[in-house]
């Protein structure tokens, strides 16, 4: 297993465009998390899945954001009508079971909205 | 308001010195973790502490979980340039299913 993979690593888009990011977790991990990190800050929770069920969404996740995890494997995070404030690093992490074992993070997708 | 407050936010010291980074909260955590993050990469887990008062050592790094499980510290002995990075603490609030992160401590070790 090569760990958590995120694609693309970098995305530059014009304001108003839609973007979609993909995350492939560690195969045996049943939990998948999306976080957003802006410069100089720690990661902020966006949403998480247990298998294919989306169990929690942050208030940070406006109606323009949607996440899916079909079949409990890979996940996608879509941002519609991007705004400059959406510019950030989007991190995906996976874990097995509860939080005690820690998360394995991907390398992130750096989004720049121009 | 940050649930987990880290201090200092920035620290720049010379190689060979010792340092301590703190992570404080008014909330009780069922577990607390420390991660290290390098530019352009995701955080990498260093340690998980679960029991109040627990101390874990990882080579030159010593991690402590407060007795009340509200705070933690990371102590580095004889810091090396390779220790440079962003150190993040993250806590699992009791009953919650996600980790909340501090804002990080950016550590620079000068040769």
Other C-beta atoms closer than 10 Å to the C-beta of A59 total 5
DSSP notation for A78-96:
EE-S--GGG-EEEEEEEES
**Tokens coding A66:** 């949607």
Per-residue pLDDT of chain B (111 residues; tens, 9 = 90+): 568 999 999 999 999 999 999 999 999 998 999 999 999 999 999 999 999 999 999 999 999 999 999 999 999 999 999 999 999 999 987 777 789 999 999 999 999
C-alpha distance from B84 to closest chain A C-alpha (Å): 15
pLDDT given for residue B49 in this prediction: 93
Which of the residues A102, A110, A112 would you substitute to probe the B interface, choosing the one with the greatest number of B C-beta atoms within 10 Å? A102
Q: How far apart are CA B49 and CA B69, in angstroms?
A: 9
pLDDT given for residue A54 in this prediction: 92
Cβ–Cβ < 8 Å for A56, B97: yes
pLDDT given for residue A99 in this prediction: 61
Q: Which residue has the tokens 């201090």?
A: B7
Which of the residues B8, B36, B42 would you substitute to probe the A interface, choosing the one with the greatest number of A C-beta atoms within 10 Å? B42
Name the residue facing A100 among B41, B50, B101 (closest C-beta): B50
Residues of B in contact with A101 (CB under 8 A): 48
How confident is the model over A41-84, as pLDDT tens digits?
Answer: 999 999 999 999 999 999 888 899 999 999 889 999 999 999 99
């Amino acid at each position: 297993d090569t760990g958590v993979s995120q694609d693309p690593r970098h995305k530059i888009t014009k304001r108003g465009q839609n973007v979609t990011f993909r995350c492939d977790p560690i195969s045996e991990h049943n939990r998948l998390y999306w976080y957003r990190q802006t410069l100089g800050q720690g990661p902020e929770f966006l949403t998480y899945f247990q298998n294919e069920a989306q169990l929690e969404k942050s208030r940070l996740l406006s109606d323009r954001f949607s996440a899916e995890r079909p079949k409990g494997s890979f996940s996608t995070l879509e941002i519609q009508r991007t705004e400059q404030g959406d510019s950030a690093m989007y991190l995906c992490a996976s874990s097995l079971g509860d939080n005690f074992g820690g998360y394995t993070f991907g390398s992130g997708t750096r989004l720049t909205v121009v | 308001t940050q649930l987990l407050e880290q201090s200092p936010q920035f620290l720049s010291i010379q190689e060979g010195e010792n340092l301590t980074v703190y992570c404080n909260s008014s909330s009780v955590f069922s577990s607390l973790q420390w991660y290290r993050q390098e530019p352009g990469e995701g955080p990498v887990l260093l340690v998980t502490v679960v029991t109040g008062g627990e101390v874990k050592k990882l080579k030159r790094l010593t991690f402590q979980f407060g007795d009340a499980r509200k705070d933690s510290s990371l102590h580095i002995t004889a810091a090396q340039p390779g220790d440079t990075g962003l150190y993040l603490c993250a806590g699992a609030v009791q009953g919650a299913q996600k980790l909340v992160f501090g804002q990080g401590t950016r550590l620079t070790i000068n040769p």
